[in-house]
Amino acid sequence: MMFNRYFYKRFKFWVGVIIAYLNRTIFIHVSPLNIFWIIDVAIFIMAIYLIISNLVTTRKNVKDVSE
Q: 55 vs 15, 20, 23, 27, 45, CA distance in Å?
A: 13, 15, 20, 25, 16
Q: What pLDDT was estimated at residue 33?
A: 84
Q: Is the pLDDT of residue 45 over 70?
A: yes
Angle formed by the axes of helices 11-22 and 35-55, to 10°?
150
Of residues 59 and 46, more confidently modeled: 46
pLDDT band at 48 (very low <50, low <70, confident <90, very high): very high
The string of pLDDT tens digits covering residues 9-44 is: 888 899 999 998 988 777 677 778 888 888 888 999
Annotated domain spans of the chain: 2-60
